[in-house]
């Protein structure tokens, strides 16, 4: 790689893009975990109501 091209990189922009990407990944993981918890809660509620209806 040409050392001149490395000198022209704006490291502030690279850092900002990396932080934004990390934030997007973190929020996606958080969303999936929360969605999984909500699904488990919904399944428990449905099972509880099903047992109550059988009585």
Sketch the domain layout of the chain as residue ranges: 16-54
Residue 8 DSSP symbol: T
Rounded-to-integer distance, Cα 36 and Cα 31, Å: 9
Residue 16 pLDDT > 60: yes
Average pLDDT estimate for 21-37? 97
Q: 7 or 22: which carries more pLDDT confidence?
A: 22
Rounded-to-integer distance, Cα 55 and Cα 13, Å: 63
Tokens 């900002």: give the residue.
16
Rounded-to-integer distance, Cα 10 and Cα 18, Å: 13
Average pLDDT estimate for 36-55? 92
pTM as predicted? 0.63
């Amino acid at each position: 790689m040409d050392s001149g091209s490395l000198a022209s990189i704006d490291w502030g922009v690279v850092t900002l893009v990396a932080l934004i990407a990390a934030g997007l990944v973190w929020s996606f993981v958080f969303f999936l975990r929360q969605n999984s918890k909500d699904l488990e809660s919904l399944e428990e509620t449905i099972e509880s109501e099903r047992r109550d209806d059988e009585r």
